[in-house]
Amino acid sequence: MNITIVARHCTPPNAVVDRAMERIRGMTRLAPRILAADLVFEVEGDDHRVEARVTLPGQPMIVVNGRGGTFGEALDEMVDRLRRGLRRRNGRRRSRRTAMTGKELMAGRA
C-alpha cells in the first residue's frame, strides 16, 4: 500500500504523522486490498484538519475528513469515520450475497 502525506500551510509533528500511517496500515484488517491512501494535513486559523483519500480496486475512492483543535483530535475523528465507512461497505457486500434464502434460490433454478 502506498501512503502519501501532504501538509498544507503547516508542518505536522512527526509523532502525528507516524501515528497516522500506523492507523491507516491497520485498516487493512477491514479492507485488505487497499491500494493507496493520501493523507492531507491542513491548518486554517485554530482549525486543524486531516483528510484521507483511500483507493480500493474496482470501487470509488473513499474520502473522509476529521477536524479538531489539534492534529491528534482531527486524526482520531478521521480514522473513526474511515473505519465506519469500510465496515458499512463490507456489510453491504455481504448482505447482497446472503439476501436470498435457500428456498428462494431453489425456486429460481426450477
Average pLDDT of the chain is 87
The dihedral through the CA atoms of 81, 4, 55, 8 has a sign that is positive
Domain 2-109: give its CATH superfamily.
Ribosome hibernation promotion factor-like (3.30.160.100)
Domain segments of the chain as ranges: 2-109
Which amino acid would we find at residue 21?
M
Helix (H, G, I), strand (E, B) or coil at 16: helix
Instruction: Say if CB 65 and CB 78 are below 8 A apart.
Output: yes
Phi, psi of 38 (to 5 degrees): -110, 125
DSSP states along 53-79: EEE-TTSPPEEEEEEESSHHHHHHHHH
Residue matched to cell numbers 502525506: 5
- The per-residue pLDDT for range 24-71, each reduced to its tens digit, is 999 999 888 999 999 999 999 999 999 999 999 988 899 999 999 999
C-alpha grid cell, residue 107? 425456486
User: Distance of CA 53 to CAs 6, 27, 41, 45, 100, Å?
Assistant: 11, 13, 12, 23, 34
Whether pTM > 0.85 for this model: the answer is no
Task: Please report which confidence band the pLDDT of residue 109 belongs to, taking 50, 70 and 90 as the band edges.
Answer: low
